[in-house]
Structure formats: C-alpha cells, structure tokens
Structure 1
Amino acid sequence: MQLSFDADVEAFRAEFVAFLTEHLPSADVAVEYSRSSADVPEWARQWQRLLFDNGWLLPANPPEFGGRNASVIQQYVHLEELSKRRIYHSFNPQGLGIVAASLLSFGSEEQKHKWAVRILRAEITAALGMSEPGAGSDLASLRTRAVRDGDEFVVDGQKVWTSGAHDADVLLTFVRTDPTAPKHKGISVLLIPTDLPGVTRRPFPSVCSPDDLDFNEVYFEGVRVPAENLVGELNRGWSVATGSLGHERTLLWLGYADRLEDLLTDFEPSSPADVDAYAKLVMDTQALRLLGSAALSREARGEQDVASLSILKVLGSEAVQAGAEQALYSAGLDALAHPAVSSRPNPMNLNNFSSGWFERYTRSFAGTIAGGTSEIQRTIIAERVLGLPRA
C-alpha cells in the first residue's frame, strides 16, 4: 500500500499551484456569479481560456484540447487543488465535462474543432438536452423526434430540467430517429444551435433556490438542423448517452467529499444526537475518500470497475443529504439564516457556497438524482457486485 504520491505527481501539483498563485483572478475582478445571470461573465470566460491555453483546463486532454495528457492520478491532484481553493475551472460545467467531452469521444474531426474547442475555450456555452417530461431516469423512453429531410433533420419535441439552456449557444440533444426500433435503439444525437428558428427556452426556478433560474424547458417546433450536426452514428445514440454520463461520473465522488468537508466545517453539534450525527459524518467522509482512492488506484492500473463508481455515488450523495438534514434540524429556525462558509477560501465570490442549511438540504436531493438515481445505482451494485439476478 502506498499512501503518498510519486515525485512526478507532486511536481505536477507544484507546477499547477504556482500557476494558480500567479494567475487566479482577484476578488475585485471575480464579482458574484449566479446561474440566473444572463450569461457567463467575461472574466470567467477569460479565466477558462487562460487555463485552456496553458494546458490546465482538462489536463487529461491532449494540448490542442486544453490539456497535457495527464494521468488519472494527476487529474485527481488537479481537482484536489481546485477544490482546496474553491475555484471553478469553468462556469459551464456540463458544456465542459459532458458536451465537449462527448464530442471529443464521438464527434468528427470537424465537430471537435468547430464545436468542442470553442466550448473548451469559453467562446460559446453548451447544455445537455437529455431529460423529457416522460423520460427522466429512463432516458430510453424519450419522444423528441428528428426526421431526415434531405441535408437536414426536422426536430419536434420537448426537453426539461435542461441546466443552463437559457444562456447556452448549443444543445447536445438526444432524439428518436427510428420510432420502430426497440427503445434503446433508434436514438441519435444532434448538436442544435439555440438560435435556430423553432427553439424556445423557458427557464424556471427550483424549490431549493427560487431566485436561481438554472433549469429550463426547451421546445423544438419544426427545427431544421443540418445533417452534419449528427454526433456519432445514426440510431446509435445510446452509446453516446452512456459515454456522456460516464464522463460525468469518473471523479464525481470528489465533489461529494468536498461538500462533506463543508458540512464538517460548518456543523456545530449541540446535543448528544448531533454529536452522533457528526461522528457519522466524519466516518462517511473518511470512508468516501478511502474508497475513492482505491477506485482511483484501480483506474490508474487500467482496471475497469464501473460498479465502484456506483458505490461512491450512493455513499457520497446520501451522506451529504443525511448530514445536511441533521444540521437543518439541529439549527431549527436559525437554519433559514445560516451564514456563509467563512473558514474556507472563496476567491471567485461564488454565491452558491453561501447558502443556508435549508437550501443545502434541498439541493442535496439533486445529488441522489442527477447522473443516475440512487435506485439505479443500487441496481448496478446488486447485479455487478453482489451478483444478484436481474429483476
């Protein structure tokens, strides 16, 4: 067992820390940012572009796509240093981590340079058009359709819960192109610019943050999309879907570990029940980091272990939810006015790090839903870890 990083990894870390020390935007430049704003602020676009140009945006990528061919351990160190400082490398996380990543995996060379590079350089923003009113966790039930008409697809349908669509320039959209095929087949993926006629975006608030208009309904009415915007093979979009979510999940547990650290920092036990809950929170945090480190080691050795990602997601998301719930009840009415985190740095002045206990608790439900619900993760664990028969 090795409990420290190799010299080359620490050298990688030191180089990145030096870059952050020299280039991190100052607090007077990084004005408060909210997802309900009309667009990503210019300073944030410049920051993302600076990371891209220096190979620090997504280090695993080759240099032409904002990276430096980093190993998985170096990727972990990169995210760890960002987390320590509460730094976002992008204010368009789905565009960066899912849409651009999917284009690099499944797109043509033209699509990579026309769309992915522009997303990575923050020249345009992107959102993910997956969920529909009747197709949330069961994506294969989607009904938005695209019919080929010469050199175009004509798209009709609706998406919902589309984060960031209101200020996105393009949507990576999953559509049904063969209604006669089994539901996991006959799906294709289109890049749909949001300025095309027939695209309507309607942002709406959530119960956990009424002023944060991140979610959207998106309507497509006779939208004519160039056939060259087809990503991957026609009617083979399910592989793109699973690849897209895979990009989202690889180091997802680090985000939960960070939220648990926030809870440990802010939650002040005041009763025996609180002390017990706090102790459980400490153990969950340590367990998540240890299991995550083990999964990271397996991935560094080239071993595929999808089930471990499901275990980490269930543990992390539900530990955050349980901890926030206990803090909420412990604080009572004061939970509605719980102060911002003050003991951890926040150089980018991000207002989503200053929420009260009630908002933290309500937001925690997103973690048990997005990226694959806890129920779906438990099914994967049952089949792939416990060897139980398919239901």
Structure 2
Amino acid sequence: MQLSFGPEIEAFRAEFSAFLDAHLPPAETTHERISSSAYLPDWARRWQRTMFDHGWLQPGNAPEFGGRNAGIVEQFVYFEELGRRRLAQTFNPQGVGIIAASLIAFGTPEQQRKWAIPILRAEITAALGMSEPGAGSDLASLRTRAVRDGDDFVVNGQKVWTSGAHHADVMFVLVRTDPDAPKHKGISALMIPTDTPGVTRRPFPSACGENDVDFNEVFFVDARVPSGNLVGPLHGGWKVAHGSLGYERTLLWLSYAERLQEYIEDWRPITALDRDSYARLVMDNHALRLLGSQAIAAAARGEVDDGRTSVLKLLGSEAAQAIGGAALQSAGGAGLLDPTFTGYQPWHQDHYTGSWFDRYLRSFAGTIAGGTSEIQRNVIAQRALGLPRG
C-alpha cells in the first residue's frame, strides 16, 4: 500500500515546513536544558510563543488558541513533519495537549483567558494531577476529596506520578466531590495553583537515575481552592477527564511510530540474530503506520473506534519497548554509554537523551501512560472483539 495525500494537504505540509525553516532558533541559542516536563527555559518559551502566534502550536485549535482550524489529516501531517525532524511540539506536553485542550472544551471564557491561553503561550506551565497511590489504571477509584465550604473547595489527599509538578505553576486535579455517588459520577476537576497554601510537591527520580527527575508526589492538606476554579459541571469531572485522555490518545500512536523510526535509524544490527529482530521491528513499524493511517481516515469521516485506538497504543508502545531491549542486547556493554546518544539534543521529542539503556528504561513508561497495556487489552477484547467482561 502506498500512502499519499492530495495537493491541499501537501501544501499545508509545505507551509509548515517553510515556517520551521524560517523560525527554528539556532542550536547555539538553546543551550539551557529541559529538566522536567513543566520546566521551560527562556528559549523554549520564546519558541512556543512563536508557534502560537503563527498558528502552528496546535493547528487543530481556533486561531485565538494558537491554531488554524486544521482537520485531522492536516494535524497528522503536522506531527509527521515534527517527527521527521525530531522536533518537540512543546516541552510542556501535558499542559498544551491535555490541560489547555480540556479548558478549551469544558472551561469558561474566564478560565480560558486565565489559564488556557497563558499555558499555550508558555507564560505558565501546568501539571496533570490524576493518578493516586490507589488509583492508577482504575482512575475512578481516586480518593482525594474536595468539600465545598462557602465560596471555596477544601482539598485533602495525595497524587503521585505527577509529571513536572515541582516546576508547574498550576495543576489540573481530579477530586472526589460526592463520596456517596457511584465512583464515576462523584468526581470533579479543579485548577489548583501550585503555590496554594496546603499544597506540597515532592519530586523523585525515576529508574533512569537522579538526573532524570520529572515525577512528583503531591499532597493536599486543607488546601482552599476558589469555586471558580471548577472546570466543567460539579460532579461532572469524569467526562472532563475522559475527554482529556481521549485527546491525548488521538494521535498518540504516531509518536510511537516516529520513535520506532528513530530507533531503527540509530540501531545497526551486528549478528544474524540481531538482524532478524531488526526485521521484525521494521515490519511492526510498517504495520503500525498502516493501521494508524486507517484510523486517521476513519476519524476524518467522523468515526470513533476506541478498540482501534487501543490496538495502536498497545502495538506502538510495546514495539518501542521491544526495539529498545533488542538494541541494548545487541550493543552489549557499549549500550550503557553509547556516545551517539550522550550529547544533548535540545529539539529531540523526548527532550531527554542517553544510552540505549536509558532509552530502554524509559520505554516502560509508554506501556503505562495513557492507559496501561493491560487496560488496552481489556478495551480491545470488549469493544473490538465483543468479548464479555472477565
């Protein structure tokens, strides 16, 4: 199968490519490193603002939100072009891709003015407070409470795995506001500034070491949040959360396809066994792109298929993990300190670089974030194959 696009779509791609050629800052001006997914050095803030001002930050948005009302196929080639150049769309991905999108979809005009536009313009950064120690894949089991007290909510509880919270200016937090309702129906969404009294952020390193600190545990002790910070209806946070994660997953598979392509380009098999593994992963990448193209075509027709999206997420994340492991095994001891990857690459999509060992360790996050592989298999079984719940 040969995939191609019509002249209008290719003209869109060419316009974006010309913008990148004309405006991408030179590498010597981007020396300060990205240290978390909510930390933006001045150069990264300027670049994101330039993207916003020219309508290239989120092309599917309206112009007032940094876009140009692009359709799903145009958004596809936008991300494809970023992937080809190994460029990050933003270094605060949860802020731009999930939180601002949620505010645009569910927030009031005042909330959009106060938070969505500043996040998109890189004036502030945001973190996503969803997971808890006892509520990860089963997000509806969350226990962080928000009790109405006059014009405020009083929040108590804990979040964990909160990426970038220690650098974020504001958090989008799911809380339980009706403990007596069914667990999916008693949840609300709040915007909570991180300097609110009673909010404590504790960053901790990942398996990749002390220099890779993005995760946080966040504690709320009698934190008072104005009622005007409620996003969407009271007790209607599950719909807001589902919309947020749905946006995250729409083109998530493409990031895995681009990562696979990068790994394929960077890995040079040595033995016959290595080459066999390499060939299987090349085929996985072709399969992922073909299935993804079918999903894009369906989305352009207005069709929604959660099962298909789950297949793409499962295949992409597990293939990225497989190629990381295979490349590390092929490299042997050299894979721990491969000089090809020790230099800092400021525009790299992952914004963290390292050895094959580092890449392999980070690949495990892909099978968890956006819905674990186990959850994806359940969705595929029930919604794609029509099997009963186990």
Same fold (TM over 0.5): yes
1:192 is aligned to 2:185: no
1:85 is aligned to 2:82: no
CA gap of 1:285–1:297, structure 2 versus 1, over 3 A, is: same
1:378 is aligned to 2:377: yes
Equivalent position of 1:106 in the other structure: 106
Q: In 2, are the aligned partners of 1:327 and 1:357 still within 8 Å (CA)?
A: yes
What is the SS of the residue equivalent to 2:13?
helix
Deviation at 1:353, TM superposition (A): 5.3
- Measured against aligned partners, the alpha-carbon deviations of 1:241-267 in whole angstroms (never above 9, x if no partner) come to 111111110000111011111221122
Equivalent position of 1:160 in the other structure: 160
Supply the distance in 2 between the matched residues of 1:162 and 1:387 (Cα, whole angstroms).
34
Range moving further from structure 2, 56-65 or 9-18: 9-18
- Measured against aligned partners, the alpha-carbon deviations of 1:259-285 in whole angstroms (never above 9, x if no partner) come to 111221122212222111001011001
Equivalent position of 1:359 in the other structure: 358
Range moving further from structure 2, 169-178 or 87-96: 87-96
Supply the distance in 2 between the matched residues of 1:368 and 1:358 (Cα, whole angstroms).
17
Listed as ranges, the matches of 1:58-73 within 5 Å are 58-73=58-73
- Measured against aligned partners, the alpha-carbon deviations of 1:128-187 in whole angstroms (never above 9, x if no partner) come to 000011111111111110000010000011100000101111000000111111111211
What is the SS of the residue equivalent to 1:189?
strand
Equivalent position of 1:338 in the other structure: 338
Equivalent position of 1:313 in the other structure: 313
CA gap of 1:37–1:96, structure 2 versus 1, over 3 A, is: closer
- Give the AA of the match of 1:278: Y
Equivalent position of 1:123 in the other structure: 123
Supply the distance in 1 between the matched residues of 2:327 and 2:351 (Cα, whole angstroms).
18
1:10 is aligned to 2:26: no
Deviation at 1:75, TM superposition (A): 0.4
Deviation at 1:210, TM superposition (A): 2.7
Supply the distance in 2 between the matched residues of 1:90 and 1:227 (Cα, whole angstroms).
30
CA gap of 1:349–1:267, structure 2 versus 1, over 3 A, is: closer
- Aligned-residue sequence identity (percent) comes to 65
Supply the distance in 1 between the matched residues of 2:349 and 2:297 (Cα, whole angstroms).
32
What is the SS of the residue equivalent to 1:371?
coil
- Give the AA of the match of 1:294: Q
Q: In 2, are the aligned partners of 1:85 and 1:346 still within 8 Å (CA)?
A: no
CA gap of 1:140–1:351, structure 2 versus 1, over 3 A, is: closer
Supply the distance in 2 between the matched residues of 1:118 and 1:336 (Cα, whole angstroms).
40
Q: Where do 4+ consecutive residues of structure 1 move more than 4 Å?
A: 349-353
Supply the distance in 2 between the matched residues of 1:364 and 1:351 (Cα, whole angstroms).
11
Q: In 1, are the aligned partners of 2:59 and 2:67 still within 8 Å (CA)?
A: yes
Supply the distance in 1 between the matched residues of 2:380 and 2:37 (Cα, whole angstroms).
39
Q: In 2, are the aligned partners of 1:176 and 1:187 still within 8 Å (CA)?
A: yes
CA gap of 1:349–1:288, structure 2 versus 1, over 3 A, is: closer
Equivalent position of 1:205 in the other structure: 205
What is the SS of the residue equivalent to 2:217?
strand
Equivalent position of 2:296 in the other structure: 296
Deviation at 1:352, TM superposition (A): 4.2
Range moving further from structure 2, 273-282 or 347-356: 347-356
Range moving further from structure 2, 49-58 or 1-10: 1-10
Q: In 1, are the aligned partners of 2:36 and 2:167 still within 8 Å (CA)?
A: no
What is the SS of the residue equivalent to 2:222?
strand
1:21 is aligned to 2:21: yes
Deviation at 1:347, TM superposition (A): 6.2
Equivalent position of 2:280 in the other structure: 280
- Give the AA of the match of 1:181: A
CA gap of 1:204–1:226, structure 2 versus 1, over 3 A, is: same
What is the SS of the residue equivalent to 1:56?
coil
Supply the distance in 1 between the matched residues of 2:52 and 2:389 (Cα, whole angstroms).
44
Deviation at 1:20, TM superposition (A): 0.7
Supply the distance in 2 between the matched residues of 1:237 and 1:37 (Cα, whole angstroms).
24
- Give the AA of the match of 2:11: A
TM (norm. structure 2) is 0.96
What is the SS of the residue equivalent to 1:174?
strand
1:389 is aligned to 2:382: no
- Give the AA of the match of 2:357: F
**How many pairs are equivalent?**
390
CA gap of 1:23–1:161, structure 2 versus 1, over 3 A, is: same
- Give the AA of the match of 1:223: A
Supply the distance in 2 between the matched residues of 1:4 and 1:36 (Cα, whole angstroms).
37
Q: CA RMSD in A?
A: 1.9
What is the SS of the residue equivalent to 2:318?
helix
Supply the distance in 1 between the matched residues of 2:351 and 2:154 (Cα, whole angstroms).
38
Supply the distance in 1 between the matched residues of 2:55 and 2:348 (Cα, whole angstroms).
24
CA gap of 1:213–1:338, structure 2 versus 1, over 3 A, is: same
TM (norm. structure 1) is 0.96
Supply the distance in 1 between the matched residues of 2:90 and 2:323 (Cα, whole angstroms).
28
Q: In 1, are the aligned partners of 2:132 and 2:160 still within 8 Å (CA)?
A: yes
Range moving further from structure 2, 189-198 or 79-88: 79-88
Q: List alignment gaps of at least 5 residues for structure 1.
A: none
Deviation at 1:37, TM superposition (A): 9.3
1:348 is aligned to 2:344: no
Equivalent position of 2:147 in the other structure: 147
Q: List alignment gaps of at least 5 residues for structure 2.
A: none
- Give the AA of the match of 1:201: R
Supply the distance in 1 between the matched residues of 2:16 and 2:49 (Cα, whole angstroms).
16
- Measured against aligned partners, the alpha-carbon deviations of 1:221-247 in whole angstroms (never above 9, x if no partner) come to 111000000001111111111111111
Deviation at 1:112, TM superposition (A): 1.2
